C-alpha cells in the first residue's frame, strides 16, 4: 500500500461519488473487487494512493463508463487507457459493418445510430421515409440539425406530429438531464439540456415526475399526420463490450409498429 501525506484527494472523492452513485458500501465494493475494505477507506480519505490496476478494477466493478474511467485514471495520476476513435476509423470497420447490417435488417421499419449527444450518425431508409412523411412541406430550423432530441422537442420540428408529445417529453428531458450530470461529460451535454429547456412547454414538463420505470429502454410514440396515426414503440440499445469511448457511447434506436394497423399503414407508406 502506498501512503500519502498530501492533501490532494481528488481521486478518493471521485471514487466515493461513484460508489455512492451505485449504492455500494465500502464493504460491498471490497467483496466485489477483492480489495480490502481498509484499503478502500484509505484511498477514499486520501491516506493511500491506488495503483493503476486498482483504479481500473474498482471502476470496472462500479460499472463506470469508459470516458469517466479515463478521468479517474488521470485524477489518480495515470495516463488514460481508453481510446476515442471516429466511426470512420479503419480500426472500427467490423463494428461499422455490424451497425449497417442491423440497420438493413430493421427495414422497412425505422432505425438510427446516434452519438452521445443524440446526433444521428447513421439511419436506414425506414427512418428517412418516416421523417420525410412527417415533415413534408415543413421547414425545420437549421439549429435543430441532425439532433433527435431537438427534432422531437422543438416547436418547429416533429412536435406537432407527436400525438402523445406531452407524455413522452418528461422521459426525454429527464434522460438528457441525467446524462448532463454524469461525471466526465463535457459542457456540450449541459448545453443541450439547457437549450431544450428553452423550447415552449418543455420547462413545465421537466417538472413533471416520471414513473419509476422511466429508465427502461422502451418508449411508445404516436406519430400523427393529418388524420393518419402511426403508433410505434422504440428500443434503445448500446454496444455490449466496447473498449473504445466512442463505441460505448453510440446508441442504436429501433422503432417497431405497436399494432397491426400501424404496421400495415407504414408498409404502405414506404412502398
The whole-number pLDDT of residue 35 equals: 95
Return the exposure string of 74-106: e unless at least 16 CB atoms fall within 10 Å of the residue's CB, then b. Answer: ebbebeeebeeeebeeeebeebbeebeebbeeb
The whole-number pLDDT of residue 183 equals: 53
Which residues are bridge partners to 114 per DSSP?
120, 251
3-state secondary structure of 192: helix
Residue 46 zone, left/alpha/beta (φ > 0; ψ -120 to 50; rest): left
The whole-number pLDDT of residue 5 equals: 39
Local mean pLDDT, 10-residue blocks, the chain (271 residues): 54 93 94 95 94 95 91 93 90 92 97 96 96 89 93 95 95 89 74 96 87 65 93 89 85 96 94 80
Domains and CATH numbers, the chain: 2-75 (1.10.260.40), 90-270 (3.30.450.180)
Global pTM value: 0.83
Amino acid at each position: 500500500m502506498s501512503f500519502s501525506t498530501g492533501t490532494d484527494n481528488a481521486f478518493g472523492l471521485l471514487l466515493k461519488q461513484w460508489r455512492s452513485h451505485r449504492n455500494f458500501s465500502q464493504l460491498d465494493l471490497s467483496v466485489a473487487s477483492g480489495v480490502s475494505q481498509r484499503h478502500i477507506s484509505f484511498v477514499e480519505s486520501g491516506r493511500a494512493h491506488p495503483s493503476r490496476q486498482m483504479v481500473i478494477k474498482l471502476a470496472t466493478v462500479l460499472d463506470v463508463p469508459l470516458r469517466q474511467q479515463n478521468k479517474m485514471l488521470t485524477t489518480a495520476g495515470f495516463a488514460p487507457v481508453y481510446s476515442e476513435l471516429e466511426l470512420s476509423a479503419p480500426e472500427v470497420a467490423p463494428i461499422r459493418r455490424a451497425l449497417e447490417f442491423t440497420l438493413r435488417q430493421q427495414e422497412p421499419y425505422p432505425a438510427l445510430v446516434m452519438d452521445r449527444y443524440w446526433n444521428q450518425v447513421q439511419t436506414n431508409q425506414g427512418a428517412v421515409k418516416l421523417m420525410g412523411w412527417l415533415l413534408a412541406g415543413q421547414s425545420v430550423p437549421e439549429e435543430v440539425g441532425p439532433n433527435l432530441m431537438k427534432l422531437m422537442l422543438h416547436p418547429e420540428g416533429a412536435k406537432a406530429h407527436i400525438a402523445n408529445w406531452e407524455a413522452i417529453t418528461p422521459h426525454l428531458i429527464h434522460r438528457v438531464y441525467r446524462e448532463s450530470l454524469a461525471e466526465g461529460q463535457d459542457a456540450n451535454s449541459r448545453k443541450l439540456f439547457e437549450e431544450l429547456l428553452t423550447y415552449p412547454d418543455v420547462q413545465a414538463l421537466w417538472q413533471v415526475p416520471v414513473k419509476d420505470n422511466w429508465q427502461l429502454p422502451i418508449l411508445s410514440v404516436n406519430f400523427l399526420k393529418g388524420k393518419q396515426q402511426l403508433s410505434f414503440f422504440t428500443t434503445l440499445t448500446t454496444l455490449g463490450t466496447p473498449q473504445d469511448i466512442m463505441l460505448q457511447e453510440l446508441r442504436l434506436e429501433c422503432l417497431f409498429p405497436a399494432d397491426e394497423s400501424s404496421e400495415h399503414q407504414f408498409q404502405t407508406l414506404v412502398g
